[in-house]
Amino acid sequence: MLSLERESDLPTTTHTTQIPLDRDTAEIQRACRKAPSKEQYRFHPFRNVPGLRDKGSVMVTINRRSALKFFGGAALAAPILPVLSKAAFAQELVVPNTLENFKRGTIHSMHPEQRSFTIVWEDLGRVKMKAADLVTNFGQLKVGNIVDVHWYDYMDFLIAKKTPETTARGDAMKAQNATLQGLPGAKEKIILWSMDGMLTKVDPATNTLFVIYKSGGEPDKPAPNSGEVIQLPPIVTPAGKAAMAQIKVGDELTTVWSRQTAIKATIIR
């Protein structure tokens, strides 16, 4: 009968044989035993991958050429994003010359300390406006003068539901202020102002919003009373009209506008 014994029951004998190495083989072994340099550890994509520590260390050296090999087509498919300076993100705020108006009126009051005046139009009533530095004869204007005035009307720069983000955006706009299109000689910025409040009415026919005043207001004009319903200037920009279609009565709004600004005042008498 043939007897089978388990391998573990058989006596084991270990023999160690030293094989003499030639010079080239010995050099290779010595090179392999050298510690890896710091350069080899600059990029270790698997260092924090769970489970690999138990299976042994993985070391990868990456340069431009090996990265393409290592990541394959993914390295080529990834979009290259340009590095932009902070100035590249800054939006230039411009009041276009399409908002320029011309009208004859009578000066009702002068405010030299604010470089502004109040004028009475026959069809628009009394309007207070800032005189830009282009109004070189500002010091000659007097109450009762009949003048032909070129001025830029209100322009909406922001119509939005009030959030921390839109509030911060509005503050940045007011800090920057605006310029007039096509008037390179104007050194003075067009002042921007804001008004916040709860929307009570939308008039699509005139692109006008009504809000319960909460904060803000036009410079050099008395602030409205808290809770007073204010009719905002007409919305004139496509962005503002699009925003108007998205808001509803009861929304808390933040708005930013340019100021009515005169660029020329010709005295008639």
The tens digit of pLDDT for each residue in 37-46 reads 444 433 333 3
Angle at 113 between CA 110 and CA 115, to 5 degrees: 60
Domain boundaries, the chain: 34-77, 91-269
DSSP string, the chain: ------GGGS-------PPPP-HHHHHHHHHHTSPPPGGGGS--TTTT-TTTTTT--------HHHHHHHHTHHHHHSPPPP---HHHHPPPPEE-GGGEEEEEEEEEEEEGGGTEEEEEETTTEEEEEEEPTT-TTGGG--TT-EEEEEEE---EEEEEE--HHHHHHHHHHHHH-BEETT-TT--SPBPEEEEEEEEEEEETTTTEEEEEEEEE--TTSPPPPTT-EEEPPPP-SHHHHHHHTT--TT-EEEEEEEPPEEEEEEE--
Angle at 228 between CA 227 and CA 229, to 5 degrees: 115
Measure the CA dihedral 206/212/216/221, to 10°.
Answer: 70
* Rounded CA separation 159/209 (Å): 10
What percentage of the chain has pLDDT greater than the value 70?
64
Quick one: pLDDT at residue 185? 58
The tens digit of pLDDT for each residue in 27-82 reads 545 554 544 444 443 333 333 434 434 444 334 344 434 433 433 443 333 333 33
Confidence of residue 90 (pLDDT cuts 50, 70, 90): low
* Rounded CA separation 148/131 (Å): 13
* Rounded CA separation 92/196 (Å): 23
Tokens of 244: 């108007």
The tens digit of pLDDT for each residue in 201-215 reads 999 999 999 999 999
